[in-house]
Amino acid sequence: MKTRTLCLAAAALMAAALALPLWGIAMSAPQYPDETLSLRITRAGIAGDVHEVTTLQHYVGISFPTDLPELRWATWIIVVLTASLVAAAFAGAGAVGRVLRGVCAVTLLAFLLGSAAAVQARLYRVGHQRDPKAPMRALHDFTPPLIGPVRVANFTVWSFPHVGAAFLVAAAALTVAAARRRDDSGGPRSGDRLVRNLGADKAVA
Amino acid sequence: MKRHPVILVGLTVVATLAAAHMIGCGATRSARSISAEKVYVAPGELDKYYAFLSGGQSGSVFVVGIPSGRLIREIPVFEPRAAYGYAMHETDPRRVLLEETGGLWGDTHHPMLSEKNGVFDGRYLWINDLANGRLARIRLDYFEADRIIKIPNLQGAHGIAVVSPDTKYIVVNGEFEQPTDGLVTNPAPYTSVVAFVDPESMQVKFEVRVNGNIDIADTSKDGRYSFSTVYNLEQGRDMGSMIQYDRDAVAAIDIPAAEKAVAAGKGQARNGVPILDPEENPGVLTLIPVPKNPHGVNVTPDGRYAIAAGKLSPTVTIIDAHTLKIVAEPEVGLGPLHTTFDDRGNAYTSLFLDSQVVKWNIDKAVKGTGDYIVDRINVHYNIGHLQAVGGDTTHPAGDYLLALNKLSKDQYVPVGPDLPENQEIIDISGEKMRMLASFPTPPEPHDATFIAASVLKPIVKQVYTPTDDAVQAGTESVVRTGPHAVAVNMTLIRSAYTPDSFEVKEGDVVTLKVTNVETIRDMIHGFALPDHNLNIALPPGYTKAITFDAGKPGVYWFYCTNFCSALHLEMRGRMLVQPRDSTVTLTDWHAGANVKGQVVPGVPSTGDKQ
């Protein structure tokens, strides 16, 4: 696959991720047979069984985040990265193109790591910043893992990256692959070349 | 070591007896366990069929799972039912309708399912009220009566039937004969009518006059004829004169011929319904003579025969359903009342006096061969209707049969003098019938019908779609609409009412509209108001409006009657009825001003000001 194609594919995946659910929550309990409650965190907000989950949460004093500022800055980063990847696709095999692709790869990886940390922090707050006046006393502080289940009262709550997040990871993989190429016909470049590209980036700056 | 012969013999005898005992016990257990397995539906597993049993004088329909015999639901129809908040309040439109059409009770007899291509499609169930001449339609998406009509010009709406194969009409038989002009002083013999009701509009399209008491109904599978048993052709008015004739009749009404006569204006309109007089319209009605005072009539699944049960005669009369000629009249036992069918050419007739179900082969009985009786099984006791799964359709299942017995006597632990009714589930899949299980019900199922759970699965809804006039969360209000009138728009959801308190004044008429804004199944809430004779039940998505007098000054706690959540007991609120001259307000939700609530769903919106 050509470097340009890799970059454009990565850009397309990132653009698509903007419209797709990024994170998912699935909740099951004995009295919800065959009707697992699910929430999808999308760029536009939270979708799914919001009504039911909102109804339930006041029993245990979990405050449902109605506003997620993380999503706003994530949107901007995704938009800028998408544009950068398109630019990188047409920046040619020269130094400018290589640097641009390298910057994209590193930024995207950093963005993914940062997002994971942000999600985990948010999950921690959900489990710890609870209303002390909540009616139910049967709950201790909890931290849902980034990926996986946690027990909250009578519910087993699963947290997991949704399709949009998978697209971002795939975009990152394609971008890294693109950044590791010398030119369109070349094979994979060694890691040190990537580092050198970064150095070039600094030099340019 | 030498053994004593006596001991040896003794040991042998003991061992033999023990072995025989074990075999005996094993055989008994085995028969019981075979029966038990056929009706055992493990917790969490679902029944294969719904059975709809008429509630008789309960005025309702019982929904029972088959084969388990578990009572799953009662559908109130002609009688108010507090538990479902059905027709409980004076201003409830359903109660008003019941009062207008004949009263707050009914005697339901024959549940009939809508058909498409000769099989049940799961859209509607019709049920009659014998006592007050009514017909109700139950929607099977919500298991709820949506139409109730009074049938004009008849008293005693007894047998009903759906006109096969596509539910063109509901046939309703008038059992209690009346003066033809409705005038008590008319000395002429009383007559009655068979009514033909449109299934969608529930309008009575026409009626056909029949002399005598019109009893049980069925229709030919091609929709040509309706068949009704008629007793008392004598037109007697006391029992002695009702049983004089040797033969009464099955009345076959040619439906296309009747439609043609009605279209030609041959009907005499009475109470808005054209009545056809058969004497003036030859060809509409054929009376087929059968032994006197017959009871049930049932058409075979292949549509060839209509079988009338003798009741006082130990016979069934087999009538060709196309030529209307009698082809055979075999003896089946004492007190034959009703017949149902399997998928293998066998008929099953209930024998009221013998307390039996008799299984007989239709072809053999028609041919007159002697061995048409296949099997008999005892039932407990005095069976009325019986119904095999799909026996009314062109495709009987041939697996289960329900015997609806009139007396239970010794079948259940004694519960005082008012005994339950006894239904028995019989396996008819083999050559011999096998009694499987029984279950009691309140009084008093007459007839039953079945539909496969798989047919209703895509149809049944478990949450109401909110109507346009539903109260939305966030739009709750308490509004004074007149000097003595207050309108309260309320929502409820786990575990709170919004508003959770409202104020009115002594002498106010309160119009309360309340919506359950839950969206999840089985989250039913109630609204009970003490000392106001008021309870309503609100399944998810449901809206109900009621009007009531505020009553004496005081604090009245309304509360949730359907256990809903961990805060169910806390789910309550106050109606504060202030003296007329009071000038203070106690809450944000007083009727002195138009207050809109700021609502967080599920969280009590306001507290006391004081």
* Contact at CB, A135 and B566, closer than 8 angstroms: yes
Q: What is the rounded average pLDDT of the residues B481-501?
A: 92
Confidence category of residue B588, pLDDT binned at 50, 70, 90: confident
* Contact at CB, B520 and A35, closer than 8 angstroms: yes
Distance from CA of B520 to the nearest CA of A (A): 7
**Taking 60 as the threshold, does the pLDDT of residue B122 lie above it?**
yes
Distance from CA of A54 to the nearest CA of B (A): 8
Phi and psi angles of residue B289, each rounded to the nearest 5 degrees, phi first: -70, 125
Q: What is the rounded average pLDDT of the residues B417-421?
A: 96
Tell me if chain A has a CB within 8 Å of the CB of B518. Answer: yes
| CA distance linking residue B443 with residue B422, whole number of Å | 10
Mean pLDDT of chain B: 92
Indicate the SS3 state at residue B52.
Answer: strand
What pLDDT, on a 0 to 100 scale, did the predictor assign at position B21? Answer: 57
Distance from CA of B571 to the nearest CA of A (A): 13
What pLDDT, on a 0 to 100 scale, did the predictor assign at position A190? Answer: 43
Instruction: Kindly state the percentage of chain B with pLDDT values over 90.
Output: 84
Distance from CA of A66 to the nearest CA of B (A): 13
Distance from CA of A140 to the nearest CA of B (A): 18
Write the pLDDT tens digit of every residue in B252-272. 999 999 999 999 999 999 999
What pLDDT, on a 0 to 100 scale, did the predictor assign at position A43? Answer: 84
Name the closest residue on chain B to residue A35, using Cα atoms: B520
Q: Which one of A34, A37, A51 would you mutate to disrupt binding with B, by most B Cβ within 10 Å of its Cβ?
A: A51
Burial of B221 (0-12, 13-18, 19+ CB in 10 A): buried
**Taking 60 as the threshold, does the pLDDT of residue B204 lie above it?**
yes
What pLDDT, on a 0 to 100 scale, did the predictor assign at position B23? Answer: 54
Burial of B311 (0-12, 13-18, 19+ CB in 10 A): buried
Vertex A110, ends A106 and A114: CA angle to 5°? 170
What pLDDT, on a 0 to 100 scale, did the predictor assign at position B19? Answer: 57
**Taking 80 as the threshold, does the pLDDT of residue A131 lie above it?**
yes
Q: Are B493 and B541 in contact (CB under 8 A)?
A: no
What pLDDT, on a 0 to 100 scale, did the predictor assign at position B607? Answer: 35
Least confident span in A11-15, A132-136, A198-202, B436-440: A198-202
| CA distance linking residue B253 with residue B257, whole number of Å | 8
Least confident span in A91-95, B95-99, B179-183, B354-358: A91-95
Write the pLDDT tens digit of every residue in B19-50. 555 555 555 668 899 999 999 999 999 999 99
Least confident span in B5-9, B69-73, B130-134: B5-9
**Taking 50 as the threshold, does the pLDDT of residue A188 lie above it?**
no
What pLDDT, on a 0 to 100 scale, did the predictor assign at position A70? Answer: 86
Distance from CA of A34 to the nearest CA of B (A): 12
Q: Which of B519, B520, B567 sits opposite A135 (nearest CB)?
A: B567
The better pLDDT of the pair B352, A134 is held by B352
Q: Are B179 and B126 in contact (CB under 8 A)?
A: no
Q: Which of A51, A58, A59 sits opposite B519 (nearest CB)?
A: A51
**Taking 50 as the threshold, does the pLDDT of residue B331 lie above it?**
yes
Identify all chain A residues contacting B566, using CB atoms and an 8 Å cutoff: 59, 135-136
Q: Which of B76, B47, B55 is nearest to B143 (CA)?
A: B76
Residue B120, beta-bridge partner list: B115
Tell me if chain A has a CB within 8 Å of the CB of B524. Answer: no
Q: What is the rounded average pLDDT of the residues B122-144?
A: 97
What pLDDT, on a 0 to 100 scale, did the predictor assign at position B600? Answer: 29
Q: In sequence order, what are the residues at sequence separation of 6 or more whose Cβ sits closer than 8 angstroms to the Cβ of residue B493?
A: A55, B473, B516, B517, B518, B525, B601, B602
Q: In sequence order, what are the residues at sequence separation of 6 or more whose Cβ sits closer than 8 angstroms to the Cβ of residue B569?
A: none
Q: Are B429 and B367 in contact (CB under 8 A)?
A: no
Q: Which of B520, B566, B603 sits opposite A52 (nearest CB)?
A: B520
Q: What is the rounded average pLDDT of the residues A129-136?
A: 87
What pLDDT, on a 0 to 100 scale, did the predictor assign at position B604? Answer: 33
* Contact at CB, B566 and A51, closer than 8 angstroms: no
Write the pLDDT tens digit of every residue in B525-542. 999 999 999 989 999 999
Tell me if chain A has a CB within 8 Å of the CB of B466. Answer: no
A→B interface, C-beta within 8 Å: 32, 35, 51-52, 54-56, 58-59, 135-136
Identify all chain B residues contacting A54, using CB atoms and an 8 Å cutoff: 601-602
Burial pattern B91-122, b for ≥16 Cβ within 10 A else e, equals ebebbebbeebbeeebbbbbbbbbbeebbbbb
What pLDDT, on a 0 to 100 scale, did the predictor assign at position B560? Answer: 96
**ipTM given for this complex:** 0.76
Vertex A56, ends A53 and A60: CA angle to 5°? 120
What pLDDT, on a 0 to 100 scale, did the predictor assign at position B12? Answer: 64
The better pLDDT of the pair A186, B95 is held by B95
Q: What is the rounded average pLDDT of the residues B170-179?
A: 96
**Taking 50 as the threshold, does the pLDDT of residue A161 lie above it?**
yes
Query: For residue B261, which amino acid is it?
Result: A
| CA distance linking residue B15 with residue B36, whole number of Å | 31
What pLDDT, on a 0 to 100 scale, did the predictor assign at position B272? Answer: 96
Write the pLDDT tens digit of every residue in B538-565. 999 999 999 999 999 999 999 999 999 9
What pLDDT, on a 0 to 100 scale, did the predictor assign at position B9? Answer: 62
End-to-end Cα distance, chain A: 30
**The whole model's pTM is what?**
0.87
Q: Which of B93, B99, B47 is nearest to B70 (CA)?
A: B47
Write the pLDDT tens digit of every residue in B212-223. 999 999 999 999
What pLDDT, on a 0 to 100 scale, did the predictor assign at position A186? Answer: 38
Identify all chain A residues contacting B521, using CB atoms and an 8 Å cutoff: 35
**Taking 90 as the threshold, does the pLDDT of residue B246 lie above it?**
yes
Q: Are B220 and B166 in contact (CB under 8 A)?
A: no
Interface size, chain A vs chain B, as Cβ–Cβ contacts under 8 Å? 23
Q: What is the rounded average pLDDT of the residues A46-71?
A: 86
Tell me if chain A has a CB within 8 Å of the CB of B493. Answer: yes
Q: Which of B250, B249, B251, B258 is nearest to B282 (CA)?
A: B258
| CA distance linking residue B379 with residue B404, whole number of Å | 9
What pLDDT, on a 0 to 100 scale, did the predictor assign at position B11? Answer: 63
Identify all chain A residues contacting B601, using CB atoms and an 8 Å cutoff: 51, 54-55
Confidence category of residue B594, pLDDT binned at 50, 70, 90: very low
**Taking 60 as the threshold, does the pLDDT of residue B595 lie above it?**
no
**Taking 80 as the threshold, does the pLDDT of residue A195 lie above it?**
no
Q: What is the rounded average pLDDT of the residues B496-502?
A: 93
**Taking 50 as the threshold, does the pLDDT of residue B320 lie above it?**
yes
Tell me if chain A has a CB within 8 Å of the CB of B30. Answer: no
Q: Are B389 and B397 in contact (CB under 8 A)?
A: yes
What pLDDT, on a 0 to 100 scale, did the predictor assign at position A135? Answer: 87
Tell me if chain A has a CB within 8 Å of the CB of B569. Answer: no
End-to-end Cα distance, chain B: 102
Instruction: Kindly state the percentage of chain B with pLDDT values over 70.
Output: 92
**Taking 90 as the threshold, does the pLDDT of residue B298 lie above it?**
yes
What pLDDT, on a 0 to 100 scale, did the predictor assign at position B398? Answer: 98
Q: Which one of A36, A55, A58 would you mutate to disrupt binding with B, by most B Cβ within 10 Å of its Cβ?
A: A55
| CA distance linking residue B126 with residue B402, whole number of Å | 19
Q: What are all long-range contacts of B76-79, with beta carbons under 8 Å and residues at least 24 apart?
A: B76/B145, B77/B106, B77/B108, B77/B127, B77/B129, B77/B136, B77/B138, B77/B145, B77/B148, B78/B104, B78/B105, B78/B106, B78/B107, B78/B108, B78/B129, B78/B132, B78/B134, B78/B136, B78/B148, B79/B104, B79/B105, B79/B106
